[in-house]
Amino acid sequence: MAYETLESKEPMETLVWQRESGNWYLRSDWGRNADYLHVRCGGLGGGHGHFDKLHIDLVVNGEDFLMDAGRYTYVAGKERFRLKSAAAHNTVTVDGREYTHCLDAWGVSGLGMAVNPGYCKQKGKYTYIQCGHTGYMQQGVLVNRKILAIGTKTYIICDEFYGNGEHCYSQHFHMAPECHASVKEGQDNTVYVSGKQFEAKMCCLSENVKTNLEAFSVSRHYNQMEQAESVTFCRKSKAMASQNDSMNADFVRTQSVITVIFCADQEKGQDNMEEYTAQLVPVVSPQGRCMEQYEARGVLLTCQKEQYLVVIAHVEAGADCDYIGAMNYYGLGRVMTAQLMPEETNEHHLPGEERRMNVLCW
């Protein structure tokens, strides 16, 4: 009786970070047609757990877009092992390998830990989330995921890989069965997605990337399998030699895979997604030195009539990497944003006219 008399209230928060369990939740509101982002990077959770560190779920206008591939069965076998794997989640793999392996229905080997507690910061329309794990340290690679949400319809997913040597880095994205994905001629690393309630565009901006679009079975209910589609962006990297370190050509350098996801209302149609674009722009110091790609990347986003500049540093602030920027916007930080005025896209400012960026992570 006491429960039935409780007054129902909508939570005041639309962003929640559960540090101990490694879960982040971002919503546009609490209505049925809300946008929703879930990020997962916590403990395995025993035999029930999946290999889902860095995994994201994404709901747009109340409809599933990116989703967990599900459970299907508790019986040991190919399908149970496949659905528990990292490749069956919206996360990353290195060299096509799993960071944890099934021994049987419940046992596993390879218990790489999440890098806790992660990070979360919100300023106005910008929400920044960061998490990583040690699952690929045996291959000499530490993985770190940086997610920037602009509102709840635009996302930058920057996956960083700290290590040396040659590797293949892959981002996996699994869509709900109701979604249909396609690639247009001449846009090999851009995937268009149509749902019932939304349109989306996924742009991988990194170099040397191959896009794989294929069928992938998912299970939203026990003992039931549905056909869906998945997208994988694979980047092959080589050991990078630093111009400043001729003594060690294999000095550790950061590789990254950057994907931008634009979402819009379905009623506007897929043609409307051409008004959403993303491109890399040079990041420089005030002295004019152009940052190398292992140091920092800049991204210019066009969302119809709005434009945003994002700078993501892959190294610690210091020397001439401590105050950096792009397009005459500068700041002291590792993740920074700025909203541009329409006339600023091709505008060149004189020295001393630099503008400041919003810092989301120092």
Domains and CATH numbers, the chain: 15-275 (2.70.98.70), 282-362 (no CATH)
The mean pLDDT value of the chain amounts to 91
DSSP string, 244-269: T-TT-TT--EEEEEEEEEEEEEGGG-
**Whole-prediction pTM:** 0.93
* H/E stretch holding 300: strand 296-303
Do 360 and 126 meet the contact criterion of CB atoms below 8 Å apart? yes
pLDDT band per the 50, 70, 90 thresholds, residue 136: very high
Residues of the chain above pLDDT 90, percent: 79
Kindly state the tokens that stand for 296: 């920092």
Nearest to 296, CA basis, from 277, 309, 282, 307 = 282
Own/partner long-range contacts of 241-250 (Cβ < 8 Å, ≥24 apart): 243/292, 250/164, 250/165
Do 218 and 67 meet the contact criterion of CB atoms below 8 Å apart? yes
Residue-wise pLDDT for 330-349, tens only, equals 999 999 999 997 665 555 55
- Which pLDDT belongs to residue 353? 63
Residue-wise pLDDT for 8-43, tens only, equals 889 999 999 999 999 999 999 999 999 999 999 999
| Distance, CA of 24 to CA of 57 (rounded, Å) | 10
pLDDT band per the 50, 70, 90 thresholds, residue 133: very high
| Distance, CA of 39 to CA of 25 (rounded, Å) | 7
DSSP structural state of residue 346: T
Residue-wise pLDDT for 157-207, tens only, equals 999 999 988 999 999 999 999 999 999 988 989 999 999 999 999 999 999
Residue 43 CB-density burial (10 A; 0-12 exposed, 13-18 middle, 19+ buried): middle
Residue-wise pLDDT for 224-248, tens only, equals 999 999 999 999 987 655 555 444 4
**Mean pLDDT, to the nearest integer, of 271-278?**
91
| Distance, CA of 213 to CA of 230 (rounded, Å) | 6
Nearest to 299, CA basis, from 271, 276, 323 = 276
Position of tokens 């602030």? Answer: 317
